[in-house]
Structure 1
């Protein structure tokens, strides 16, 4: 696992300035503390920070091909590199190292842009080909590894593993993109392919980008993979369970290759426990497992993690942290580089910090909820969809639209009385309704929050357009598959994988994600929706398959999540900090907000009239970003 960076001069033959590239690369030192080096030729400069995992003594980067035609900087792991190596040796290619990096180089020389189809793993890489005078960038299919880029006004194309790499170029433009601010206050992150900055982008998962010297503007990235949306079903429950375990065990197995200490996160939930169960059956040594708990029973899952650790006799490491662990608040803006509002970033940071004391590589259970419909919101979405099918939109829209407007937001009431969001969603179609239900601040709340001037600049743009863009590709699927697809394109990559990448890399820890093996995803996403959500039980097919491997109270207990007590923080120890940050000069002078609404949100929460903790945290993280960005 590493950090990559580079500069490509599209308009001139000049060699990029070494000191500029060094400053960019040094900003991501944490991603690769073991080594770092540079490659320069006229028009191009490549940089790398290395965290050594495979072929520790060899595989330095930037790496040139044996014939010196191509040079690569690469972040990630290719799990089928040994098979590819043998295939390419058979075609006459030379190898000077024993790692996976050189395999990508020779795959490029053999297959060109199609090389990505031969790679199984997580990756972000850039290849400079001197004979073709081109720079080729690629990102893995699910977006496990990040890749940012920008075209500067003078024709310099810059890229890096984190947004801070780009920001450390002296000519980087820090003008903010208005539409992504609207997106952020809906989703809590900036969805692909945009960043918070007007002229920088994320290379979207499953995409490549080819640049030729002399081109006047960037070409559109090319998509090479997507989640499958066409299939046929013909398996029994028993057949599904058997194949699931076989395929998942193989996805875990290929991720156990490392020349450094390797282990797994173990939260006590289904997904991480499934990973540990498979690992225990695949290696002779005890699995290294890492858990954190909280000093509040409401948020503590350690007893379930211990059950799994005991069952599989793992080498278990556990750390208990305070539920009032908010000292990381001021670091989060530096960690994520753009507004990011998932408060579980704090415990994720802590578990990565603790894990790094024992291992260099950790396997995680991320991706299972999106793949097997584990989130509670899928059940709610299906309930709403049944009602939509029963009552035509022409009737629903006026009736429930009115109810959604006049019904109060009753956060203090029993759940069955908190119907405002549901009424709003029932007045919408499938995609719009799901967007409304998952939004941190709904459209009516954003309308009140944003200033008149900012709304005029948005010119009618809504974050719903993000969902519309993806939803148009899967209109033929059933409502739950549509929701899962939307989450895999947005929430999974923009929130979950971003959170884990930044938190783990802050501690030079590599995290591998077997549930997101693309071959496993291609198979698992084809399971019927009824196999995943049955009788109100999410991830039913996964849990059923795991019954021989995990205790029932791990499999079927209520999902807890990796939460922190925001509501209590904002009425207690963080009350003054919240008010100071949200009503600071940088927030008020930004021009984005209706200041009266900011004060109302704070006051209503402080007086316990409403639970505005999610909205307030989102605002607090935005304030931290603005403060950092103004320096």
Structure 2
């Protein structure tokens, strides 16, 4: 199953029994996540449901969600996959337990009955969000995978508890308080999304990744929340005693084991192939398993700067894949509408549309694809990490008070200068040098940085009662867990603990909208834990990130791929906002009926747009965020 949802009503004067029709309404807006029917459980004040996944290699896809173990009755809903299911089935078989189907939902039920929640969670390798109703304990449990690859939202007021895989499932219930949380809007301008446990709505929250939560169901039908409790977090333990050659071998062995496990018995799984190192490694390893030709999927935009198809073609030729590629010239206005429908919460990551387009292409041919997501986080592949390492070397040469005195004012008054060669674009670098290493990296990760963000936000955000975003603190706190001994490790802590789970929103929503499952080997906890042991000196070397990963697989790839820096694959927002999106931006974002004027200083937005249109500045990312927020409000708030 790939969409889960449910209701718990409180008893009393206004008691409302759980209704099948309400569950069906919640499920109807989530059918893109599971198109092979549905399953429901309704009893008095409790209601739970699931949309079932459209493709499975086994016949028992329509397995029930109700399980009985002696006096224990469980209702189990699972969105996602348990990759090490074969190993876990053997473990249960050795205990004399016989499963009736090949479904991961049944496997989860048996594991819970045998071990309980806290003992079963460390055994799981996969991507999942689950709800387990234990009727013998009168308890409802929520669980989310270590990196948040699968989503789970919940809403609670004094009358009910609701949950669903996506926000739109909760909204479909109908009786929900929808109040925008101003702090979440600031979050959005910092990260391009609403991260962590918050949602855009004050009363709707997300389950934290790597966590579980319990709701104790009382006699009056109330659900008392306990938690969330973390069961997994990225805790790197650097091992200095392993040689370079041993690391090379361990990396190859672990990635091969992970991909073999994820592939399992599934025939015909494809792969996203961007032409970058990570997806190329995944394709290289995939090609070793099975005799079938791997279908690979690649897209590029007409703009050459956003087209890496020549690198993808070289890898396809090298490994003999069945390559499907498209050079797209999308209808910008129409695709913006599709994105807003797909991401029912503000989400302006510029790679969201390419992810949706390549998912759409792949879904015409396969139901499962592999991807290279997570490689940059595991092995330090981002250019910003190299830049910030250089900044940290300069930072170490001056005492803090002197840096703050010199670079603080410089960072404020120095112009943005996007139109100049890179050597003159120093505004962010100056601001970073006035900060600690952790705060500087949080600044580097921001989509819209201060002081521009403070000018862009409406006066509401400068009132005494406003609760500001704590995202910067989350980044710097995660950075600090490295203990100050290793700047690069601190950056990786921030990336994996805070930023990576939000990047997974992009992959889940885009692929699920197209009925496609994406498996990401670099996000396996075994791969992450191995990467956390590798000293930083092996990750960035010779001016390149992911040095040890490149070295591990260099005999298999063309020289260009081994040595070229990461380019990324993003939306040509700068060009679109000077072209096909120009009129809609002026009319809807800057017009008198702008829906976002309660959160944004429209006069300052006009200045940014004017400078962008005239080429004085390059504000495509910020302007795209404004346009997405406006179109989101039109679709989901009107």
Could you say which TM-score interval applies, normalised by the shorter chain? Answer: over 0.9
Partner of 2:41: 39
Relative to structure 1, the CA distance from residue 282 to residue 565 in structure 2 (aligned partners, 3 Å threshold; closer, same or farther) is same
| Range moving further from structure 2, 42-51 or 605-614 | 42-51
Q: Deviations over 1:169-190 (max 9, x none)?
A: 1122210111111111111111
Q: Is the 8 A contact 2:192 2:346 kept in 1?
A: yes
Partner of 1:160: 164
| Range moving further from structure 2, 253-262 or 72-81 | 253-262
Q: Is the 8 A contact 1:272 1:365 kept in 2?
A: yes
Show the 5 A alignment for 1:236-275.
236-259=243-266, 261-275=268-282
Aligned mates of 2:73, 2:223 — CA distance in 1 = 25
Matched, 1:134 2:136: no
Q: Deviations over 1:225-250 (max 9, x none)?
A: 01123343212221111110111011
Partner of 2:127: 122
Partner of 1:5: 5
Q: Deviations over 1:447-466 (max 9, x none)?
A: 11112233214255554233
Matched, 1:498 2:502: no
Q: CA deviation at 1:33?
A: 0.7
Of 89, 102, 109 in structure 2, the residue corresponding to residue 105 of structure 1 is 109
Partner of 1:25: 27
Matched, 1:393 2:400: yes
Question: Which SS does the other structure have where 1:490 is aligned?
Answer: helix
Relative to structure 1, the CA distance from residue 264 to residue 477 in structure 2 (aligned partners, 3 Å threshold; closer, same or farther) is farther
Partner of 1:60: 62
Aligned mates of 1:508, 1:319 — CA distance in 2 = 19
Q: How well do the aligned residues superpose, as a CA RMSD in angstroms? A: 1.9
Q: CA deviation at 1:543?
A: 0.5
| Range moving further from structure 2, 222-231 or 538-547 | 222-231
| Range moving further from structure 2, 307-316 or 131-140 | 307-316
Partner of 1:405: 412
Of 85, 93, 109 in structure 2, the residue corresponding to residue 89 of structure 1 is 93
Q: Deviations over 1:484-531 (max 9, x none)?
A: 11111222111x211111110011000001111111111112211111
Aligned mates of 1:512, 1:378 — CA distance in 2 = 26
Question: Which SS does the other structure have where 1:548 is aligned?
Answer: helix
Q: Is the 8 A contact 2:238 2:534 kept in 1?
A: no
Aligned mates of 1:355, 1:440 — CA distance in 2 = 29
Question: Which SS does the other structure have where 1:150 is aligned?
Answer: strand
Relative to structure 1, the CA distance from residue 65 to residue 460 in structure 2 (aligned partners, 3 Å threshold; closer, same or farther) is closer
Q: Is the 8 A contact 2:442 2:476 kept in 1?
A: no
Partner of 1:188: 192
Matched, 1:564 2:571: yes
Q: CA deviation at 1:91?
A: 2.6
Q: Is the 8 A contact 1:586 1:626 kept in 2?
A: no
Structure 2 regions of 5+ residues with no counterpart? none
Aligned mates of 1:324, 1:52 — CA distance in 2 = 29
Of 145, 152, 158 in structure 1, the residue corresponding to residue 150 of structure 2 is 145
Aligned mates of 2:602, 2:319 — CA distance in 1 = 55
Relative to structure 1, the CA distance from residue 268 to residue 55 in structure 2 (aligned partners, 3 Å threshold; closer, same or farther) is closer
Q: Deviations over 1:181-205 (max 9, x none)?
A: 1111111111111111101111111
Aligned mates of 2:554, 2:518 — CA distance in 1 = 26
Of 486, 494, 497 in structure 2, the residue corresponding to residue 486 of structure 1 is 494
| Range moving further from structure 2, 249-258 or 500-509 | 249-258
Of 608, 611, 629 in structure 2, the residue corresponding to residue 622 of structure 1 is 629
Aligned mates of 1:50, 1:217 — CA distance in 2 = 29
Partner of 1:343: 350
Q: Deviations over 1:309-343 (max 9, x none)?
A: 11111122222212765530112122111111112
Q: Is the 8 A contact 1:292 1:320 kept in 2?
A: yes
Of 35, 48, 51 in structure 1, the residue corresponding to residue 53 of structure 2 is 51
Aligned mates of 1:590, 1:629 — CA distance in 2 = 16
Q: CA deviation at 1:259?
A: 4.6
| Number of residue-to-residue matches in the alignment | 629
Q: Deviations over 1:5-50 (max 9, x none)?
A: 1112355686412211111111111001112121122332111111
Aligned mates of 2:596, 2:546 — CA distance in 1 = 46
| Range moving further from structure 2, 607-616 or 85-94 | 85-94
Q: Is the 8 A contact 1:10 1:213 kept in 2?
A: no
Of 277, 293, 302 in structure 1, the residue corresponding to residue 309 of structure 2 is 302
Q: CA deviation at 1:359?
A: 0.5
Relative to structure 1, the CA distance from residue 15 to residue 118 in structure 2 (aligned partners, 3 Å threshold; closer, same or farther) is farther
Q: Deviations over 1:420-453 (max 9, x none)?
A: 1111111111121111122121121111111223
Relative to structure 1, the CA distance from residue 257 to residue 216 in structure 2 (aligned partners, 3 Å threshold; closer, same or farther) is closer
Of 412, 425, 430 in structure 2, the residue corresponding to residue 418 of structure 1 is 425
Matched, 1:452 2:433: no
Aligned mates of 1:158, 1:185 — CA distance in 2 = 28
Question: Which SS does the other structure have where 1:608 is aligned?
Answer: coil
Q: CA deviation at 1:588?
A: 5.8
Relative to structure 1, the CA distance from residue 345 to residue 84 in structure 2 (aligned partners, 3 Å threshold; closer, same or farther) is same
Q: CA deviation at 1:476?
A: 4.3
| Range moving further from structure 2, 559-568 or 177-186 | 559-568
Q: Is the 8 A contact 1:36 1:50 kept in 2?
A: yes
Of 513, 538, 557 in structure 2, the residue corresponding to residue 550 of structure 1 is 557
Q: Is the 8 A contact 1:260 1:360 kept in 2?
A: no
Q: Deviations over 1:461-481 (max 9, x none)?
A: 554233244345333451111
Matched, 1:466 2:471: no
Q: CA deviation at 1:99?
A: 2.4
Aligned mates of 1:326, 1:277 — CA distance in 2 = 37
Aligned mates of 1:392, 1:96 — CA distance in 2 = 66
- Compute the TM-score of the two structures, normalised by the length of structure 2: 0.95
Aligned mates of 2:570, 2:459 — CA distance in 1 = 34
Q: Deviations over 1:560-603 (max 9, x none)?
A: 21122211111122211111121245536642222210110111
